[in-house]
């Protein structure tokens, strides 16, 4: 969700003024056109960057025997296919998207009979190590009228970090972290400065080293300062401390004019407001984000799975409804529940209650467990209290792999849970019956004071974030 094109793309519609003719919009220069830079110009650009320009070779090339990029290797192909579902395969690449259809089957390793071409992938990427690389790339792409995209970890299910004929700013290797005491009119306390390439597991480890926690995603490989925080960002600490965007104290960015700027509530405040929730890569290229670091806290967590295969569907959905409604007091007290329904299977993976005791969590789940027992539904259940959130996350959070699903989402307001739950359950059942996987995150991101930012206000009243996948 992370890495998006800048705002200075050509205007899509002609502008008409009185007394003037409408002007036609110009297209970006594309490979094969006369305007495309020569080999020497690309070489000179690479020299300017100190050798940081990467010429894209699709990672699927090892599975192909024909096409411009074919480089068949039987063992390499077997290894790639075995590891395709793991995020590492894609975020260690400067070009491979985790949502593979945005590559439009360009050199797809599962289609070896097709020609291996670069297709929808960007032909070049810049391995950014500092602001000067961003500035040089902005100058080059502007001079040659080339499309520019921003790529961080590859966690992008809107296709904004992948573009044919583009140069990508690959932010993945900006891995610096710094713990500091931050003082401003709105916040005085512990903070972490995170390079744009820092991923969730790295941010949490850096915080844990100082007995702190930071808000990050449920998927440990998401880039924290990328589209995650820039667009909102929830996770197992979101009910306790707010969204990822709510944590950002300041951004270090390069804007479209090539200038290095700081953006905070007191410096370039309009830019800070826009970036903080307004969408990844839309307003500037983010080099780092300084985020709030909170004190570690005990965390209780539970996993639950059950199947409705052997019971009436009405019974299965009665249990799901009971779960959704009866955990709401836990959520309002700071818990976050990550759950899913696939067909007639229910998975809670996990519900995390930072600051809550095992007894509180058990009490909040008691009605769901009692209903399972009442209907003789077999289930797997584990509950545990941990000394730190770090320990809970490591023990109870399953590794998240990439998805080949086509996904869409909906933020469900609290009023639906309070007064329209039968209608919601009916809709969810109909969706599941169509073979769609339903992923839900039950949370309350408005327990903490809400800072002024561009986060969609619908988040503030959301009880469940739904993602649907086919």
CATH number at residue 204: 3.30.465.10
290 and 424: one domain? no
Question: 469: how many CB neighbours lie within 10 A of its CB?
Answer: 17
How far apart are the C-alpha atoms of 184 and 10, rounded to whole Å? Answer: 38
Decide if pLDDT at 264 tops 70.
Answer: yes
Q: If you average pLDDT over residues 292-302, what whole number do you get?
A: 98
- Judge whether 62 lies within some domain: yes
Provide the pLDDT for residue 157.
83
Of 249, 220, 442, nearest to 353 (Cα)? 442
Clarify whether residues 283 and 322 are in a common domain: no
390-419 confidence digits (pLDDT tens) = 999 999 999 888 877 888 899 999 999 999
- 435 with 309, same domain: the answer is yes
State both tokens at 420: 């329209």
Above 90 in pLDDT, residue 176?
yes
Whole-number pLDDT of residue 11:
26
The verdict on 184 and 134 lying in the same domain is no
Section 64-90 average pLDDT: 96
**Residue 189 and residue 275 share a domain:** yes
* Residue 384: per-residue pLDDT: 98
pLDDT at site 25 = 52
pLDDT at position 3 = 32
What is the average pLDDT score of the chain?
A: 93
**Amino acid 1: pLDDT:** 32
Q: What is the CATH number of the domain that holds 147?
A: 3.30.43.10
pLDDT of residue 155: 87
Taking only Cα atoms into account, the Rg of the chain, rounded to an integer number of angstroms, comes to 24
Q: Which domain, by its residues, includes 236?
A: 177-295
31-35, 120-124, 141-145, 278-282: range with lowest mean pLDDT = 278-282
The CA-based diameter of the chain, rounded to the nearest angstrom, is 79
Rounded distance between C-alpha atoms, residue 66 and residue 52, angstroms: 28
d(CA 288, CA 164): 27
Q: Please state the rounded mean pLDDT for residues 234-262.
A: 98
Residues 146 and 278 in one domain: no
pLDDT in tens, 8-59: 222 222 222 333 344 445 799 999 999 999 999 999 999 999 999 999 999 9
Residue that is last in its domain, among 131, 148, 169: 169
- pLDDT confidence bin for 158, thresholds 50/70/90: confident
Residue-wise pLDDT for 317-366, tens only, equals 999 999 999 999 999 999 999 999 999 999 999 999 999 999 999 999 99
Give the pLDDT score at 20: 34
Q: Given this model, what pLDDT does residue 22 score?
A: 41
Number of domains composing the chain: 3
The per-residue pLDDT for 16 is 29
Contact by Cβ (8 Å): 211, 294: no
């Amino acid at each position: 969700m992370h890495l998006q094109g800048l705002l200075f793309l050509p205007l899509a519609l002609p502008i008409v003024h009185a007394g003037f003719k409408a002007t036609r919009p110009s297209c970006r220069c594309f490979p094969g056109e006369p305007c495309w830079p020569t080999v020497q110009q690309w070489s000179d650009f690479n020299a300017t960057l100190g050798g940081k320009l990467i010429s894209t070779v699709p990672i699927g090339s090892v599975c192909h025997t024909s096409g411009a990029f074919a480089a068949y290797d039987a063992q390499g192909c077997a290894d790639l296919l075995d590891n395709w579902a793991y995020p590492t395969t894609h975020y260690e690449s400067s070009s491979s998207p985790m949502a593979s259809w945005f590559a439009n089957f360009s050199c797809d390793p599962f289609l070896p009979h097709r020609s291996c071409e670069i297709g929808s992938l960007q032909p070049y990427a810049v391995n950014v190590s500092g602001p000067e690389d961003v500035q040089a790339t902005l100058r080059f792409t502007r001079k040659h009228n080339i499309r520019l995209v921003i790529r961080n970890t590859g966690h992008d299910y809107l296709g904004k970090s992948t573009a044919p004929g583009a140069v990508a700013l690959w932010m993945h290797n900006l891995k610096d972290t710094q713990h500091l005491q931050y003082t401003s009119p709105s916040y005085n306390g512990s903070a972490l400065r995170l390079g744009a390439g820092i991923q969730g597991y790295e941010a949490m480890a850096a915080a844990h080293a100082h007995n702190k926690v930071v808000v990050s995603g449920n998927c440990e490989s998401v880039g924290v300062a990328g589209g995650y925080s820039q667009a909102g960002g929830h996770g197992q600490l979101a009910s306790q401390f707010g969204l990822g965007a709510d944590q950002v104290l300041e951004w270090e960015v390069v804007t479209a004019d090539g200038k290095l700027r700081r953006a905070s509530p007191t410096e370039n405040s309009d830019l800070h407001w826009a970036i903080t929730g307004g969408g990844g890569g839309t307003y500037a290229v983010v080099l780092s984000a300084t985020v709030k670091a909170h004190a570690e806290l005990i965390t209780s967590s539970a996993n639950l799975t059950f199947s409705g295969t052997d019971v009436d569907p009405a019974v299965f959905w009665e249990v799901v409804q009971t779960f959704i409604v009866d955990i709401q007091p836990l959520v309002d007290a700071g818990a976050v529940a990550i759950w899913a329904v696939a067909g007639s299977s229910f998975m809670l993976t996990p519900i995390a209650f930072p600051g809550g005791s095992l007894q509180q969590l058990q009490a909040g789940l008691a009605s769901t467990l009692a209903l399972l027992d009442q209907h003789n539904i077999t289930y797997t259940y584990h509950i545990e209290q941990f000394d730190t959130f770090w320990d809970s996350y490591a023990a109870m959070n399953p590794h998240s792999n990439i998805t080949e699903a086509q996904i869409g989402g909906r933020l469900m307001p609290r009023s639906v849970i309070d007064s329209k739950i039968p209608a919601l359950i009916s809709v969810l059942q109909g969706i599941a019956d169509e073979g769609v996987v339903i992923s839900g995150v039950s949370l309350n991101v408005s327990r903490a004071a809400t800072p002024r930012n561009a986060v969609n206000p619908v988040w503030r009243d959301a009880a469940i974030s739904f993602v649907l996948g086919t």
